[in-house]
Amino acid sequence: MPLNILITSTSFMDTPGIHQETLAQYDLQLNYLRGPLDEATMLNHIEAYDALICGDDALTEQVLRKGKNAKLKFVSKYGVGLDKIDLSAAQKLGIPVTNCPGVNQVSVAEHFFAALLCYLRNIHLQFNEVQGKGLWTRMTGYEMYGKKLLIMGLGRIGSEIAKRAKAFGLQVYGYDQHPPASLIEEGIIEMIDDLPTQFSQMDFVSLNLPLLPDTKHILSAELIQQAKKELVLVNTARGELVDQDAMIQALQNKTIGGYVTDVLDIEPMPSDHLLRHLSNVLITPHIGSRTFDSVQRQGMMAVQNLVDGLNIPLKTSNNS
């Protein structure tokens, strides 16, 4: 009897490509729920499935235990971030968890520059003026050239941003406990060690850290207070890296220049989210890695992880 697989990643579902074609070749019963799913929803459904291809769903210890007590055998995470999965509980319960590192850094790095340039040149606002309202009101924007960019987190995505930033003429600085030596040796980036002091000198900041207990609210109220009033912060990592109350206050008081974010503390965004109507905010709906190229790479890795982890056979001519 085919294994029952739940797919919750909307990127995987919504983007046609080789990942979907490949998955269809295996002897599986495929089921779909549009995520990210909260704990209560997962608890209502988890007992029915042998394995997951999940997005940022709440896989808490309670969810994993209920799944394990039924028939859950494997979790294949579509994407890189594992902060929504209780990994210690999964290990304790003997449920393997895989993810997809090294496949989305180009897409997210490109999104960083697309979003920052859009904000600096008012493209999102001018689009609405011209095509939405039929007006020809011209706003004045800002250049990136010669400005100081701090990249917090120099993993694959942060490193890709650093390489491209030099081409834009930015002065690039990094903050990371274990930076890639090549970025320093090649003169691409200069590391900083006194974050509270040097943060105040930056024009732009890119957040590219994983969400861990020691990185939650790393953009603290104290750090936000140190920022120059022109600072634009770009977040393509996790919403919880930022002390949102402090950020909202700074944006409302215009003591910080702007917040460009692809991630929020609650996703999908509630209609009454406090960031939604602020004029110095640009929000995109977690699409940094959502390109046809990246989705197929991530999707194929998620499928391969699942197939290899459970030794799933291809369909035969009799059951196809």
SS3 annotation, 137-154: CCCCCCCCCCCEEEEECC
For residue 247, give both structure tokens: 């950020």
Residue 153 zone, left/alpha/beta (φ > 0; ψ -120 to 50; rest): left
Catalytic residue selected from 156, 286, 290, 297: 286
Catalytic residue selected from 39, 45, 267, 273: 267
Q: Is 151:298 a contact under the CB 8 Å cutoff?
A: no
User: Which residue ranges does the chain devote to CATH 3.40.50.720?
Assistant: 3-103+292-310, 105-283
Please provide the CATH number assigned to the domain covering 3-103+292-310. 3.40.50.720
Distance CA 252, CA 164 (A): 31
For residue 91, give both structure tokens: 């290990």
Distance linking the first and last C-alpha atoms of the chain:
13
Distance CA 56, CA 266 (A): 11
For residue 133, give both structure tokens: 């309202």
pLDDT confidence of residue 94 = 98
The torsion of the CA quartet 86, 88, 89, 95, rounded to 10 degrees, works out to: 100
Distance CA 161, CA 111 (A): 10
The rounded Cα 186 to chain-centroid distance in angstroms is 28
pLDDT confidence of residue 132 = 93
Distance CA 170, CA 151 (A): 12
pLDDT confidence of residue 1 = 87
Class of domain 105-283: alpha beta
Catalytic residue selected from 19, 111, 156, 238: 238
pLDDT confidence of residue 316 = 83
pLDDT confidence of residue 265 = 94
**Would you call 290 a catalytic residue per the annotation?**
no
Distance CA 240, CA 231 (A): 19
- In order along its 320 residues, the chain shows pLDDT tens digits of 899 999 999 999 999 999 999 999 999 999 999 999 999 999 999 999 999 999 999 999 999 999 999 999 999 999 999 999 999 999 999 999 999 999 999 999 999 999 999 999 999 999 999 999 999 999 999 999 999 999 999 999 999 999 999 999 999 999 999 999 999 999 999 999 999 999 999 999 999 999 999 999 999 999 999 999 999 999 999 999 999 999 999 999 999 999 999 999 999 999 999 999 999 999 999 999 999 999 999 999 999 999 999 999 999 865 54
DSSP 27-47: SEEEEE--S---HHHHHHHGG
Pairing of strands 97-98, 190-191: unpaired
For residue 3, give both structure tokens: 């294994």
* Residue indicated by tokens 């120059």: 228
CA distances from 168 to 92, 104, 130, 171, 209 (A): 47, 21, 28, 9, 23
**Would you call 178 a catalytic residue per the annotation?**
no
Cα-based angle 4, 84, 89 (whole degrees, multiple of 5): 75
Contacts 24+ apart (CB under 8 A), 237-240: 237/153, 237/157, 237/207, 237/208, 237/209, 237/210, 237/211, 237/263, 238/81, 238/83, 238/207, 238/209, 238/210, 238/211, 238/263, 239/263, 239/264, 239/265, 239/266, 239/267, 240/211, 240/216, 240/265
**Would you call 238 a catalytic residue per the annotation?**
yes
Beta bridge partner(s), residue 207: 152, 235
User: H-type helices in 227-291, by residue range?
Assistant: 244-252
Contacts 24+ apart (CB under 8 A), 188-193: 188/162, 188/163, 189/151, 189/154, 189/162, 192/150
Is the whole model's pTM more than 0.85, yes or no? yes
Distance CA 75, CA 49 (A): 10
SS3 82: coil
